Amino acid sequence: MSRQGKKSPIWAAGCMSGTSLDGVDVALLNTDGVEIFDFGESTFRGYSETEQEMFRAELGTWQASHELTELIETAHAEALSGLEGFELIGFHGQTLNHAPDEGRTYQAGDGAVLAEVTGVPVVWDFRSADVEMGGQGAPLAPFYHHALARYIGAEAPVAFLNLGGVGNLTWVDPSVEDPAAPGALLAFDTGPANAPVNDLMRARRGETHDADGALAAKGVPDMEIVAKGLEHPYFYKMPPKSLDRNDFHGVLEAALPLSDADAAATLTAFAAASVARAMDHCPEPPTALYVTGGGRHNATLMAMIAAGVDCPVLPVEEVALDGDMLEAQAFAYLAVRVIYGMPTSAPMTTGVRAAIGGGRISRPDLAKA
């Protein structure tokens, strides 16, 4: 067993509020930051439509209002209050702006406040150190994906695809023991996933998303718009690379003149085409593509992805994982790595110059307890 593997396992609560803006996921994980020993309970605290509007009003800003910051911290505290038995919290916060090429990324929410409210140490601000070291600050789940590949007993390379507001892909070689070692991982954002379709559905129909891809299934995608979208400079960059939620707003605008169904089909087809393009970067073809995040519930999107890649496309439930909570679990895992002084990103996951451990640690003021 490696030196790292001798650390004591910790029950940690990971919190994730993603670019889909639907709410806060919280999941418990027992880990030493290397191996996964057990999965615990999970919960979800949804955002109301009014709360989602507060988020959308401040997307792209570099300083959240007091009202939005308070909402983020309160929502996380409420979600955490439904669980017990954890010794550590991994708090992602809410990304409002992400411009790594400018050396900046911003996740609203103060982990020190959450530590005081919960009485539990909080690891937060996971991305800043990576960006300061020349990395993209995203995606951050790949080290956890590496642990998952080994947990499920994968013997050959596999890939994990998270379909949130933005899509991101992690290629894993589970035969490499250390996730920070060369050849263990390659990770990057694929392109838009749910965000453009969600925005379309909200604007056209007052709905949060295209449930099961039902509307897209009735439409015909405009492949000229898809092809034009694939000419975006992002697709010509070599990974690692990352996106902001609104980097492909032009594709949504191009689809707006179409009927509701055709627009939904076009945006869904573009998300799938982005994944197919991303698979070309894999060092060798994965034996399976395991899909997590809300997009795996979209049957039309899943079918389009399966048609464009050369390996089985499966929801992570096929290997007994929880696709709704996997991202939250990832931040529990990363929090433990931070506590134990281990790296959370590496050159082939974010483009950072060297393997680095991100995250700030805030401990509750026990004198006040």
Give how far Cα 289 sits from Cα of 20, 41, 108, 162, 169, Å: 22, 26, 32, 10, 9
Confidence of residue 38 (pLDDT cuts 50, 70, 90): very high
Pairing of strands 360-362, 122-124: antiparallel
pLDDT tens sequence across 138-172:
999 999 999 999 999 999 999 999 998 899 999 99
Sign of the torsion formed by the C-alpha atoms of 266, 215, 292 and 290:
negative
Crossing angle (nearest 10°) for helices 66-80 and 49-58: 130
Whether 217 shows a pLDDT value over 70: the answer reads: yes
Mean pLDDT, rounded, for 42-57: 96
In DSSP notation, 233-247 reads: GGGGSPSS----TTT
42 beta partners: 27
4-136+331-368 with 153-319: one CATH topology?
yes
Q: Which numeric CATH code is attached to 4-136+331-368? A: 3.30.420.40
Q: Is the peptide bond before 240 cis (omega within 30 degrees of 0)?
A: yes
Q: CATH code for 153-319? A: 3.30.420.40
Domain boundaries, the chain: 4-136+331-368, 153-319
Distance CA 321, CA 335 (A): 20
The model's pTM: 0.93
pLDDT at 245: 78
State the amino acid at position 220 in one-letter form.
V
Alpha helices in 214-325 (DSSP H): 214-218, 223-229, 249-255, 260-279, 299-308
Contact between residue 291 and residue 313 where contact means Cβ atoms under 8 Å apart: yes
Q: How far apart are CA 299 and CA 293, in angstroms?
A: 13
308-356 tens-digit pLDDT: 999 999 999 999 999 999 999 999 999 999 999 999 999 999 999 999 9
| Nearest-angstrom CA–CA distance, 267 and 120 | 42
What tokens appear for 170 in the block? Answer: 């992690």
Cα–Cα distance between 361 and 351 in angstroms, integer?
24
